[in-house]
Chain A
Amino acid sequence: MPLSAFLTVSGVLFAIGALGVLVRKNPLIMFMSIELMLNAVNLSFMAFAHFLDSAQGWIFVFLTLTVAAAEVVVGLAIIVSIFRSRTNIDVDELNSLKG
């Protein structure tokens, strides 16, 4: 399979993830969408690594996975504490920090 096929799949996955972040109100779904975007990028890294025969892409993927794991931990902790204080986690209602 040519490189363009991988990149196409990667681009579609990324667009789906971005759309999910924009349109969903539930932060858990938004998290899943962000993971989708990250993994779309991972896919393109892997594709490039394979076709260019370079290990740099692999290293980037490991890095991304680590950061994603850390991000999920922090994000879930924030969501839990918001839920505890407001019993509601609709992001459209979390708008008190504004000018």
Chain B
Amino acid sequence: MLNLTPFILLAPLVGFVALGLFGRALPRAVIAMIGCGVVLIGFGLAVADLISMLGVAPAQRVSDVTLWTWITAGTFHVPFGLLSDPLSAVMLLVVTGVGFLIHVYSIGYMEGDPGYWRFFAFLNFFVFAMTLLVAADNFLFLLVGWAGVGLASFLLIGFWYTRASAAAAARKAFVVNVIGDFGLLIAIFLLFGAYHGALDYHTVLGIGSAQAVAPTSVASGGVLLAIALTLFVAAAAKSAQLPLHVWLPDAMEGPTPVSALIHAATMVTAGVYLVARAHSLFSAAPTSLVVVAVVAGATAFFAATIACVQNDIKRILAYSTMSQLGYMFMGEAAGGFSSGIFHLVTHAFFKALLFMCAGAVIHALGGEQDIRKMGGLRERLSGTFWLFVVSGLALAAIFPFAGFWSKDAILGAILQRATTGGSGWYALYAVGLLTAGLTGFYIFRLIFVTFFGAYRGAPVAAAHGSGHAADARAGDPLAGLHRPGLALMAPMWVLGVLSLVGGALDLPGSQLLNDFLAPAAPSAIELTSALFWVSLAAGLICALVGIAIAWSRYGQGQAPAGDEVKVGALVVFLRRRWFVDDLYEGAIVRPILALSRGLRFGVEDDTLEAGSQGVSGAIGSLSAGLRGLQTGFLRNYTLTLFLGAVVILVYFIAVSQ
């Protein structure tokens, strides 16, 4: 079997280095060609890997290539090894495939930005770090990739670094992500102790070994639980789960392609990947899966409720992403690890498309993000509108769009788990159904308010005096609309088709993805069982009810209430995001700032500074006194010399007697 993973890693790295070193001097066309080309090469190699993987028996679909040894200390070895197995193959295809489409989209979206080369260099760096994350064959290199994507995220959120809000959002994302990195580091220490220094997936997770060692025979239940929970801390921070979710909505300060690539399709799903990758550890500590289920269910519901009242087009999608990530974790908690990955894949298609559509709308309106100032864009942006509807239907899980099959595979897995696991799982299933309804509501609220009714915003300024003058009519506020070009639309159409047919990966009866992932990520549900059909129907009904409510309230393009309108306590509660951000502000940020201020003025100034000032002051005054001795008068020195000689003479005379 072919293992081209090193070259998949190398391609974006070459792009990053080339653009980072020489990008400033290159023309834009060359920058775009390098930036997109290297990712396309990576995608081609990933496809070649997949084809060769499909050519061998499922049991032999694991290949591990060691490039060199990174660390050797006594008996401790960390090789730089890259793993190719069904799970990493799927992840690599998503990262490079969706990544390539978003790179192409960026050509159009970032057109005219002075940081063009920097943007593509960072994007390539992100793709490199993400491929390292999913292709690493040990936990230490997982951590390298994990921190790498965090860095890329930081750089790209703060891409427009002259905006104070973007810089603050980048800092916030970095700080919260470091909490996750810390969790992963603790997990690595615990694994190091439990497995006597072995950190490779082969030993720890039993990937590619004939008889895997059961984790329960290696470590006690408490240690396994601690490992699983610290891994989940890492996953929760990266995938914006409660209570470490606060960075993701703010991360929308970055350019829209970044939101699509990093904060919707790939990086935020790293946590889902980690849980699926380490499923044997989670399964060995069942309590940890209960924790995952509770956190994921709470996040899915929490984020969906907030998405219902937001008015910023990108923030709605950010909360939606959190909610969908919650779904993926719910599926994994119920044992449907392959269902979680399936939803990860389809979500990458339709959520990237949603962000691209949102980006096209923002681009068309010259930077406007508030949906209250939109409306009536259906005819003017018909292509974007239809793609928005397709991806919205996929998100809302309507038959036969991609999200329908993947989300209901998750709900089915939870229902299956509930039949044996008890009432708690039924509650989780109910939360899942409720969230499905909310999902249908918020996404179609967004579509109706944006595209239906009449345009409510200020007139759009014409683009740089170009050809728009021809169709400019008096009194038409949308005369200056910037229609999305081919570079924006082409990747959107590709993702539109994928959002429509992506469910074919794992239809009941064929189960392509499920069977392919089976050695790496087990599934929980037989997709042909009667239970599954019941679950499908229930999920569909909930989503349709949500869409119907959205239609009744916003179907004519009514604008949602603005901040100035008096609203009920519930809406205030949701608008303030359940007061979680305020709670963090009050309980963590302010006390730390107060403590820092106290240390700065009380300890630094009054104690340390005063002490060092005192020492230097004492030495200063001493030397000022001594300086008086050096008068510059020769006779003073001579006199001192003679007096000294006299003193010595007198001393000797006194001693001799």
Contact = CB atoms under 8 A, between A and B. Distances in A.
Interface stretch (B122-130, B261-269, B310-318, B633-641): B633-641
A4 interface: no
B633 A18 contact: no
B642 A98 contact: no
Nearest to B639: A22
Contact of A18 (B628, B632, B642): B642
Interface in A79-99: 91-92, 94-99
A92 B626 CA distance: 21
Nearest to A95: B632
A36 interface: no
B631 interface: yes
A99 B628 contact: yes
B631 to A, nearest CB: 5
Contacts of A94: 632, 634
A98 B638 contact: no
B630 A22 contact: no
A99 B642 contact: no
Interface in B324-378: none
Nearest to A19: B642
Given A21-B635, A94-B634, A99-B630, 12 more contacts: A22-B635, A91-B634, A92-B633, A92-B635, A94-B632, A95-B631, A97-B630, A97-B632, A98-B630, A98-B632, A99-B626, A99-B628
A93 to B, nearest CB: 10
B642 A96 contact: no
B627 interface: yes
Contact of B638 (A21, A92, A99): A21
A91 B635 contact: yes
A64 B193 CA distance: 81
A69 to B, nearest CB: 22
Contacts of B631: 95, 98
Interface residues of A, number: 11
A65 B543 CA distance: 116
B629 A99 contact: yes
A11 to B, nearest CB: 11
A96 B635 contact: no
A95 B629 contact: no
Interface string A34-64: 0000000000000000000000000000000
Contacts of A91: 633-635
A99 B633 CA distance: 11
A94 B634 CA distance: 8
A22 B629 contact: no
A92 B631 CA distance: 11
A77 to B, nearest CB: 17
Contact of B627 (A21, A22, A96, A99): A99
B178 to A, nearest CB: 54
Contacts of B630: 97-99
A21 B626 CA distance: 25
B638 A22 contact: yes
Nearest to B642: A18
Contacts of B634: 91-92, 94
Interface in A1-49: 18, 21-22
9 contacts: A21-B638, A22-B638, A22-B639, A91-B633, A91-B634, A91-B635, A95-B631, A98-B631, A99-B630
Closest 3 CB pairs of A and B: A98-B632, A99-B627, A95-B632
A75 to B, nearest CB: 12
B642 A95 contact: no
B638 to A, nearest CB: 6
A96 B638 contact: no
A92 B632 CA distance: 9
A21 B630 CA distance: 19
A99 B629 CA distance: 8
A30 B631 CA distance: 19
A96 B642 CA distance: 23
Contacts of B639: 22
Interface in B610-629: 626-629
Contacts of B633: 91-92, 95
A72 B57 CA distance: 104
Contacts of A21: 635, 638
A5 B575 CA distance: 113
Contacts of A97: 630, 632
A84 B628 CA distance: 30
A22 B634 CA distance: 9
Nearest to B627: A99
B389 to A, nearest CB: 86
Contacts of B632: 94-98
A16 to B, nearest CB: 13
Contacts of B628: 99
Contacts of A92: 633-635
A22 B633 CA distance: 11
A55 B130 CA distance: 94
Nearest to B624: A99
Contacts of A96: 632
Nearest to B623: A99
A92 B630 CA distance: 14
A68 B173 CA distance: 80
A8 to B, nearest CB: 16
A99 B622 CA distance: 13
Nearest to B645: A18
A94 B635 CA distance: 11
Nearest to B633: A95
A91 B632 CA distance: 10
B384 to A, nearest CB: 80
A95 B637 CA distance: 11
A99 B635 CA distance: 16
Nearest to B628: A99
B619 to A, nearest CB: 15
A99 B64 CA distance: 75
Nearest to A94: B634
A97 B639 CA distance: 17
Nearest to A97: B632
Most buried by A among B627, B629, B632, B642: B632
Contacts of A95: 631-633
Nearest to B634: A91
Interface string B263-306: 00000000000000000000000000000000000000000000
